[in-house]
Amino acid sequence: MKCLDLIRTTFLCLLFQGFANECQAQGKFKIDGTATGLSDGKIYVFLGKKIDSVQVTKGKFQISGELEEPVEFIAVAKHSDQRKLVKGTCATLYIEPASMTLQLNGSDFAAAKLKGSKSQDDVYRYNAITDKIILKYKKEQDHFDAVRKKYNDAAAAKKSQEELEAIKEEDQKARVALEPMYKEYQNASVGFMKENPMSYYSMHLLISNSRFLSYDEAAAFYKTFNPLYKKSVLAKELEADIEKMKKGVAGAQAGTFNTVDINGKPIKLDDFKGKYLLVDFWASWCVPCRKGNPHLLKLYAQYKPKGLEILGVSDDDKDHDKWRKAVEKDGIGVWRHVLRGLQYKEGTYERINIDKDISEGYNIHVLPTKILVDPNGIVVARYDGGEEDDKKMDADLAAIFSGK
Amino acid sequence: MRRLFALIMLFYALSSTAQVYNPVKWTTSAVKVSENEYDLVVKAAVEKGWHLYSQTVPPDGPLPTKFTFDGKGDYLKKGNTKEEEGHIVDDKIFNMKIKYFESKTIFKQRVQLKNKAAKQIKSSVEFMACDDSKCLPPKSVELIFKLK
């Protein structure tokens, strides 16, 4: 799967080619390759949108071309058909406008060794760190895979609901056991970015880890990065993403809105001034959201007398009936409800009136997400991480209202 | 002539890499089955833990996966979009049987070409995905099938 990821990064350049001169030529590159365990024939190089075949003769081959960015991502692969690129048949590499060498092993492309690219050297250094983490959690990972397989087998054999539920519980435990591994991964990424701000790979790590960082943290990292790379398409994408992180997080101004509620009454953010407001982003079709409603009802009963309001913002613009039914069925009509305001140009999926979409003002990616806003309209906290985050919400509310 | 053509969607390029979850990846191919008929094959790769829903979720349930093969212009639709067996759960909240897919699944739509010179067929899929604790709002992805 890793091979496919490159398409994302390299494709972007092509998209922007129509505009400005985002993709000016950055220079020529050359890779002298030696291959073991490969008979004479073709291998394939994916660069941007292009797939080139390269002839291997007596264990030697050469790849050359021109780069449009200071660093680009290529894949050297056994097949030209991407669906055949399973593990070991593809090497992904960061290359630079330079003269490089590549050592390729026919039985395991992923073990290819590129020399002469600083960016790829950084990847190797980073991988050495994460390899250790993978090794440390091998037992937990194997167990997780085994439980997954057990579930899939049981489901295929049409085992009873109870049996499947029991395996699901095991699966949940196996997942929890892997959590420290992800934490270590995160720490490794952050550590690498701190120590190697000039590395192109740090930009990649910031993109994949921004989810765990606050706006301030991400912006601070970005500031330290290499100015040479800040003109790249990857950097522009990163900048836009960091900008979005300002919304809907602690310390930010809550996104304003001005619409009508489920009963046709006008409603705006200012109406909630002076009270704590929990904005619940949900939808009638979102099972995890619906599951959380009984708990929200409990919180509402407990804290409403002390000054808490809840506003349901639903992703049901397409089908208002479903929305109304869900509100009624779950008995959550005790607090106010609005639609997020998602609109498409008729007959297309082209979005219109994005400034009226309440979700935009809070940078919502998953449902449920809950945002706690203080009496002055400032975001206090964001809860979008599942069960653990729900516990944090409970604790925050308890702390806020303890003295009241 | 009976060759498969895979195409990586523009999808990869258009979806932002940071923050946004992207648990379902779509790839397409077209398989020639006769002189003027093709099977348009859509493969969905679903990340671990995520569910992609069937096209036939009952009303009032989660939003079904929906393909748009409008059958206008270059081709005629032959039958409905086929899907795999998937998993069926008895969901207590919706009080209904809900079918979903995990890891990998394939959808197939047979079409008959009206315009034999057509080089590609465009369609789209609208889908949502959930794992145990969260859902992604529905989004639509353009699917392009290269014919040859």
User: A95-150: per-residue pLDDT in tens?
Assistant: 999 999 999 999 999 899 999 999 999 999 999 999 999 999 999 999 988 988 88
**Interchain pair A8, B27: CB under 8 A:** no
Residues 6+ apart with CB under 8 A from A117: A71, A93, A94, A95, A96, A98, A100
Q: Mind listing the pLDDT tens digit for each residue in B93-112?
A: 677 888 999 888 999 999 99
Is residue A179 scored above 50 in pLDDT? Answer: yes
Q: How many other C-beta atoms are found inside a 10 Å radius of the C-beta of residue A212?
A: 16
- Summarised one tens digit per residue, pLDDT across range A225-247 is 999 999 888 898 889 888 888 89
Residue A4 in contact with partner chain B when CB distance is under 8 A: yes
Reported as a pLDDT band with limits 50, 70 and 90, residue B74 is: confident
Q: What is the structure's pLDDT at A257?
A: 96
- Give the number of C-alpha atoms closer than 13 A to the C-alpha of residue A251, restricted to the C-beta side: 5
CB contacts < 8 A, A to B, total 113
pLDDT at A386: 67
CB A315 within 8 A of CB A359: yes
Q: Report the pLDDT averaged over residues A385-394.
A: 82
Cα separation of the two ends of chain A = 53
CA distance B38 to B48: 31
Q: Say yes or no to pLDDT of A4 above 60.
A: no
pLDDT at position B6 over 70: no
Of A208, A202, A210, nearest to A232 by C-alpha is A202
Task: Name the more confident of A320 and A386.
Answer: A320
Residue A318: per-residue pLDDT: 84
Across A37-180, the runs of DSSP E, i.e. the strands, are: 41-47, 50-56, 60-67, 72-77, 90-95, 99-105, 113-115
Q: Using CB atoms, which residue from A8, A349, A367 is nearest to B134?
A: A367
Mean pLDDT of B113-133: 87
Question: For residue A313, with 0-12 CB atoms within 10 Å meaning exposed, 13-18 middle and 19 or more buried, which class applies?
Answer: buried
| Cα torsion A140, A144, A150, A151: sign | positive
Q: State residue B81 phi and psi, 5-degree precision.
A: -75, 120
Peptide bond into A368 cis (omega under 30): yes
* Diameter of chain B measured on Cα atoms: 51
Q: What is the mean pLDDT of chain A?
A: 87
Higher pLDDT pick, B30 / A4? B30
Burial A118-139 (b: 16+ CB within 10 A, else e): ebbebbeebeeeeeebeeebee
Task: Please name the amino acid found at residue B94.
Answer: F
Write down the H helix ranges in A60-137: 118-136
Give the nearest chain B residue to A3 (CA atoms).
B8
How deeply is B112 buried, as exposed, middle or buried, from its count of CB atoms within 10 A (0-12, 13-18, 19+)? middle
**CB-based contact, B133 to chain A, within 8 Å:** yes
Residues 6+ apart with CB under 8 A from A315: A281, A282, A283, A286, A339, A340, A342, A359, A367, B137, B138
Per-residue pLDDT tens over the stretch B75-97: 888 889 999 888 888 776 677 88
Query: Domain segments of chain A: what residues?
Result: 2-116, 130-244, 258-401
Q: Which of A238, A359, A386 sits opposite B18 (nearest CB)?
A: A238
DSSP helix/strand/coil, A44: strand
The yes-or-no answer to whether A2-116 and A258-401 have a common fold is no
User: Is the CB of residue A373 less than 8 Å from the CB of residue A257?
Assistant: no
CA distance B118 to A372: 54
pLDDT at residue B15 tops 60: no
Adjacency order of strands within the sheet including A113-115: A60-67, A27-36, A99-105, A113-115
> Which among B12, B126, B140 has CB closest to A11?
B12
DSSP state of A225: S
CA distance A207 to chain B (A): 5
User: CB distance B137–A283 less than 8 Å?
Assistant: yes
Show the DSSP H helices in A22-137 as ranges.
Answer: 118-136
Q: Which domains does chain B have, with CATH numbers?
A: 7-146 (2.60.40.1250)
Can you tell me the mean pLDDT for A205-230?
A: 89
B45 near A CB under 8 A: yes
Which pair of structure tokens corresponds to residue A37?
Answer: 């365990």
B-interface mutation test, from A286, A315, A388, most B Cβ less than 10 A away: A286
Looking at CA atoms only, how far is residue B87 from chain A in angstroms?
A: 7
Q: How far apart are CA B108 and CA A190, in angstroms?
A: 43
Cα–Cα distance for residue pair A372/A244, rounded to 1 Å: 18
Amino acid identity at B38: Y
Query: What class has domain A258-401?
Result: alpha beta
Q: Is the pLDDT of residue A14 over 60?
A: no
- A20-29, A38-47, A222-231 — which is least confidently predicted? A20-29
Residue A20 is predicted with a pLDDT of 33
B100 forms beta bridges with B53, B87
Q: Are B47 and B24 in contact (CB under 8 A)?
A: yes
- Distances in Å between the Cα of A195 and the Cα atoms of A71, A122, A225 are 20, 11, 11
Is A254 strand, coil or helix? coil
ipTM: 0.71
CB neighbours of residue A156 within 10 Å: 10
**Which residue of chain A has the CA closest to B102?**
A152
Question: Given a cut of 80, is residue B68 above it in pLDDT?
Answer: yes
Instruction: Please list, residue by residue across B9-22, b when 16 or more beta carbons sit within 10 angstroms of its beta carbon and e when fewer do.
Output: bbbbbeeebbbeee
The tens digit of pLDDT for each residue in A141-158 reads: 999 889 888 888 887 788
Q: Which fold has domain A2-116?
A: Immunoglobulin-like (2.60.40)
Whether residue A23 has pLDDT greater than 80: no
Strands B104-113 and B75-82, bridge-based pairing: antiparallel
User: Which of A206, A290, A387 has the CB atom closest to B93's CB atom?
Assistant: A290
* Listed ranges A41-45, A217-221, A335-339; the one with the highest mean pLDDT: A335-339
